Structure 1
């Protein structure tokens, strides 16, 4: 693991790391259990990421279960309306406090041995512990994680890093969080992809592949007008939508990437959020949530069908790239300054994480 904390030759090949000289990330970052363990601990666990619509946690006892960096988490609204985040790990023997999303829970009860906590994470009862010397429920509570709400979406993380305000700096000048919060969550879907999670992010961050991988999408978004803008912890790809379809209204498409694994795809009348979750060294799944403005939800069926086609195309190319990176035959290639600025920006954030972990 220590080797993964040191920059590789490819990471340091150009000291300036300028866009005009940039090369892709070293393939060793995409392959093997050590690379995955590093990503989970030092990148995904520290990064703010969208985990649910705020509407899923609107009432007391409403709760969701997810994972961040391979660690089970639980978010729950308490009786006073406070949103709490915890590790979904009982302090007894690591059982789960909840097995699935739910509504109106009065307490959090471990599914393994029945230890019960209130909605603020304080242990209240522990069956069969009367004879344990010095055992006191008042000194036992669930481990907390950080939770914030932005634009009607719940963000969470389990390890320290830059604040959410710092991460999102400048985004409110590009898009109004209140207007996003006014959208209604409609449904969620999950796509499985047999590639390292970073390959999926790489693919998202450039429109270079659109004419070759997404012929239908290229008929909707204007590839010649595709632009990338960069901030400290996020990037934006934007393009006019030339033609109205059943899935897309005419206007402008804004594709935000928020480090390390969140995408906000904002289009006229709707938003789609993505969270890329690492399942293994060469496996990930992508959680999609679909939001619509009033009167726009009738696009949902066409939206799903079009999303399926695009995701099938992305899955195909990402899985082939995984094989190429794992082959041992690939050396990092040059990036296109015109088309891959978002990839370059993201790779440099990853390089910063590799350099800082020691």
Structure 2
């Protein structure tokens, strides 16, 4: 029995939804988006409802909830979410909302509990979401089974935890199988988060992702990063030099010898996994290119694994090296506010101050994140101008941005239930 009753007041965003679909159909795909996509609060709400509430998101890493009762929480728009490790190692996700009066159950970012107990009136839930106790005050005819926690779709692979608030989330199992294969050498269950940063950015979330999807800006903005990073994603890049291709071939032979996966794997435009070498003579994204952690991850013996890059749209990119892994997730707050969370992971037995120094580990990406924050905020300020109009992307340097906006447009239109014919009828007023 579900006693939920929703009073429908109509959808105040309906005109904005139609305008969004029309603009996406009419946009020039090799140009930036029309201004409302970057600064309009109505369109931001549509982004949340149709992208962030319907696509798969990375909620955290499995190593953050290593044993039964460990939990993490996150905020997705107006929705507080709880992820907890249950019996037999199973990971569950729920709306972090008590079924009594709606209070949040877990109020800290992370922790460990025997049961999930609401701090308001002590309603108590099992780790699998079943309501166990509500007190005799609820009356003799009260059924505990009618008030279990509301679940959130949850899957895990390769050390990553994915959630989706959608009733029927898009297919993701093929990517998760690929991710598990590529992450096998890292033994992610035996890692830990050495440190994390939470960086607010006064820019629309799409500007944060667009900035990440190109390195056109790197030479002028990221001196620390370019101590080690080679910007190309594969040898098919039209800008790739013969020297780079030879470097890739040499590294690939070493990776083959150690049975380290590296081939470019694509899963539509949403997901991509590829291992690329770092600059010759460097093995990790540190200031000097030397390992940031002495203890290598998983079964890895050779620190020179380059960087395995994992893309997960709409909101994450990752760099996996022999000695540590860096996970980035982007969380929209408002039309012009975003939070970027960065986590640095190392082997769980690595000892801080002995095997790694936190400041040295995070130095390159702290600098890079802050540089990107400034770029994004200046981008947002310019876009807010009455002078802004969509501008052209470079077909060589910014093809990754075009791919992102193609994905975003397709998913937005699909989730809106729109078709080109419908959009044309709406545009003509039919």
TM bin (shorter chain): 0.7 to 0.9
Q: Find the counterpart in structure 1 of residue 161 from structure 2.
A: 154
Q: Find the counterpart in structure 1 of residue 51 from structure 2.
A: 43
Q: 1:7 aligns with which of 9, 18, 21?
A: 21
SS, match of residue 360 in structure 2: helix
Contact 1:121 1:142 (C-alpha < 8 Å) held by counterparts: yes
Q: What TM-score comes out, normalization by structure 1 length? A: 0.87
Contact 1:50 1:155 (C-alpha < 8 Å) held by counterparts: yes
Greater displacement, 341-350 / 321-330: 321-330
Q: 2:315 aligns with which of 261, 278, 283?
A: 261
Q: Find the counterpart in structure 2 of residue 181 from structure 1.
A: 188
Q: Indicate whether 1:326 and 2:380 are aligned.
A: no
SS, match of residue 347 in structure 1: helix
Shift of 1:169: 6.7
Pairs aligned (count):
349
SS, match of residue 206 in structure 1: coil
Shift of 1:202: 0.8
SS, match of residue 46 in structure 1: coil
Greater displacement, 244-253 / 158-167: 244-253
Structural mapping, 1:205-216, within 5 Å: 205-216=213-224
Counterparts of 2:177 and 2:216 in 1: how far apart (Å)? 27
Structural mapping, 1:25-44, within 5 Å: 25-44=33-52
Larger Rg: 2
SS, match of residue 306 in structure 2: strand
Greater displacement, 325-334 / 4-13: 4-13
Q: Indicate whether 1:283 and 2:290 are aligned.
A: no
CA 99–150 in structure 1, closer or farther in 2 if over 3 Å, else same: same
Structural mapping, 1:232-251, within 5 Å: 232=268, 233-235=270-272, 240-242=277-279, 243-244=281-282, 245-246=286-287, 248-249=289-290
RMSD: 2.7
CA 153–334 in structure 1, closer or farther in 2 if over 3 Å, else same: same
Counterparts of 1:253 and 1:81 in 2: how far apart (Å)? 30
Counterparts of 2:389 and 2:49 in 1: how far apart (Å)? 26
Shift of 1:193: 0.9
Q: Indicate whether 1:76 and 2:89 are aligned.
A: no
Greater displacement, 245-254 / 284-293: 245-254
Q: What TM-score comes out, normalization by structure 2 length? A: 0.74
